[in-house]
Amino acid sequence: MEVTVDEQQLDALFTALSDRTRRDIIVRLSAGDATVKELAERYAMSMQAVSQHLHVLERSGLISRGRHRQTRPCRLEPGMLNLAVSWIEASRRTWTERMDRLETHLARRQEGGER
C-alpha cells in the first residue's frame, strides 16, 4: 500500500501526540515560546530526555526551534494541530454517517419483521 505524504504526516503527528509528556509540552508551548531548559524544569528527567521529546515534536511539525541570541526557543506550530483536528472531524463524520445508515437499516428490518 502506497503511503501519501499526508498519511506520513499524520503518522508522525499522532505518534508525537501519543505521549503524555509531549502533549504536556504542547500545552506549555501554547502559552508561549520556551527554551529547552525552561521546559525541562517541569520534569524529573534529564535535559537529554526532554530534548528527545522535542525532537519527536519537531519532526512531526508540531514545534519549531528558532534562534535568539544564545538560546533556541521552541515554538508551537498550531497548523499541524489543525491537520489532526481536520482528520479527526472527517473520521467522526464518516463514522456518524455509517452508524446512522446502520440504525436506519435496523429500524427498517424491525418494522418489516425479524428475518
Domain ranges of the chain: 5-111
Q: What is the pLDDT of residue 111?
A: 87
Per-residue pLDDT of the chain (115 residues), as tens digits, is 454 558 888 999 999 999 999 999 999 999 999 999 999 999 999 989 999 999 999 999 999 998 877 778 999 999 888 888 888 898 899 999 999 999 999 999 988 765 5
- Angle subtended by helix axes 78-111 and 5-17, to nearest 10: 100
5-111 is classed CATH 1.10.10.10: yes
pLDDT of res. 83:
87
Sequence-distant (≥ 6) Cβ neighbours of residue 37 within 8 angstroms: 47
Question: How confident is the model at residue 114, as a pLDDT?
Answer: 56
- Model-level pTM? 0.75
